[in-house]
Amino acid sequence: MALYVEGLSKGVANGGMAQFQEMMRQQLESSMHDELEKLLDTTTGAEREVSKKDFEGFKNLFHRFLQVKGPSVEWIKIQRPPEDSIQPYDKIAARGLPDNVANSLNKLVVVKLNGGLGTSMGCKGPKSLISVRNENTFLDLTVQQIEHLNKTYNTDVPLVLMNSFNTDEDTKKILQKYTHHRVKIHTFNQSRYPRVNKESLLPVSTNLSMNGQNAEGWYPPGHGDIYASFYNSGLLDQLIEQGKEYIFVSNIDNLGATVDLHILHHLVSQPNGKRCEFVMEVTDKTRADVKGGTLIQYEGKLRLLEIAQVPKAHVDEFKSVSKFKIFNTNNLWISLPAIKRLQEQNAMDMEIIVNPKTLDGGQNVIQLETAVGAAIKCFDNALGINVPRSRFLPVKTTSDLLLVMSNLYSLEAGSLTMSPKREFPTTPHVKLGSSFTKVQEYLIRFESIPDMLELDHLTVSGDVTFGKNVSLKGTVIIIANHGDRIDIPAGSMLENKIVSGNLRILDH
């Protein structure tokens, strides 16, 4: 990057700016192509063929990255979406359901994005294999939900997992336990792209292996890669041949993302020419969601606007709850034939997300990524549906995990629903400190999960443990200063309390 910029400044001095820029771009692209060929030459057979396909996608992304001339949106052109382009969920649900729900379900495929690791919560291996409720993992709950649908309506809704090279092997091992469940499970892999040295704009890997230091040279390129990798896997065609028409895509860690029969019915009941090819579920923004992507109208199309695309001068405006009232849950309903058409026409256009990283050795690299929702502008009759907050229940941290493990939710057929005993529908705001970050540490600190039915806000910081059958109500703040420890006694009831200092419960 530095060489590129230095070259540009010389080009400006010589007057031929545009010409020089183009020359530099071509030179960088040519160097990248040479390096990718060298990487391909380090292996043979099937691995080489898979990597060759992946590299075609990467070359296209890299080419577009070099062409970018400033921000991808002009702030002045942003408009609010037209009234009818974001429908309230209640309006969709008011239509009711037909007698033949099974017909609609048999056109559906559930796709879960399963490329992530549980490292942010201190776990090794795929995040989907973390226990979240009654010893059930994210994957267990997903399988239970779909099996329940298939048994209830006598249908054949398959589950498709988009794995990454980080999660594929471990996930496939665990899938054997579901062989007797009434769910067909398919997998395909996201692409594997090379991380790029920030200075030279060349790959950091020297070969295609995933061993040693070289393993750091590769990354899965964001969930926007779903379209190309699904198509390349052959699974897309296979499902279309089976009469499948729509996929419901969501993050596997969003426990609110269950199959919604009303949205599905809305999709399949439209006349063919007016069929909606893409639905994005959005929900009302709160102060906790200010960084979430939102829907805008841009150059006559519905479009996803992410915080990374917002010019610095307008970031506060973007975060405003009054101007941008909704955000993307990443629960998406997408037409399978439309994905096939757009892939074959090479018409899938998604903004590039440049993700800077620092490797363990201190080397600065960039990852070129795309987001699945950014393709909304490519599809016909795209629609936003403003869904209840209950459809967005992601578990990104142990604070989220505490909520879903508590008595705030009841579990039935793999689905979590808010307890009817809670008087207000919003979830409490929970902030657990760094002593709780890793799942193993978090579990040791709770002898049992507290009663949280009447909790509004919980902040815990420092060395704190909870005894059995603790009850938390209203606003509770517990802060153990450095060197102090607080043990909340078994059976305690804390209501609108601040606890600080040092509180040890000694065994007698």
Q: Which residues define the annotated binding site for UTP?
A: 127, 190, 222, 253, 396
- 396 tagged catalytic: yes
Q: What single-letter amino acid sits at 316?
A: D
Sign, Cα dihedral of 350, 355, 359, 365: positive
Is 192 within 8 Å of 220 (Cβ atoms)?
yes
Is 110 within 8 Å of 414 (Cβ atoms)?
no
Rounded CA separation 253/130 (Å): 10
- Phi-psi label, residue 120: left if phi above 0, alpha if psi -120 to 50, beta otherwise: alpha
7 SS3 class: helix
- Of 257, 255, 260, nearest in space to 136 by CA: 255
270 SS3 class: coil
Residue positions forming the annotated binding site: 127, 190, 222-223, 253, 396
Rounded CA separation 76/31 (Å): 37
Query: Quick one: tokens of 165?
Result: 């090279």
Strand partners, 250: 112
Radius of gyration, CA atoms only, the chain: 25
DSSP for 418-463? E-TT-SSSSPPEEEE-GGGSSHHHHHHTBSSPPEEEEEEEEEEESE
Max Cα separation, the chain? Answer: 85
Is 333 within 8 Å of 264 (Cβ atoms)?
yes
Residue positions forming the annotated binding site for substrate: 223
Sign, Cα dihedral of 181, 104, 234, 169: negative
Query: Quick one: tokens of 501?
Result: 């200092």
101 SS3 class: helix
Rounded CA separation 488/126 (Å): 33
Query: Quick one: tokens of 223?
Result: 């969930």
Taking each continuous run of H as one helix and of E as one strand, the counts in the chain are 14, 25
Q: Strands 246-251 and 326-335: what pairing?
A: antiparallel
Sheet holding 196-197, edge to edge: 196-197, 364-369, 353-358
Active-site residue (options: 184, 396, 473, 497): 396
Rounded CA separation 187/230 (Å): 9
Q: How many other CB atoms sit within 10 Å of the CB of residue 135?
A: 7
Question: What DSSP state is assigned to residue 154?
Answer: T
Q: What single-letter amino acid sits at 112?
A: K
Active site residues: 396
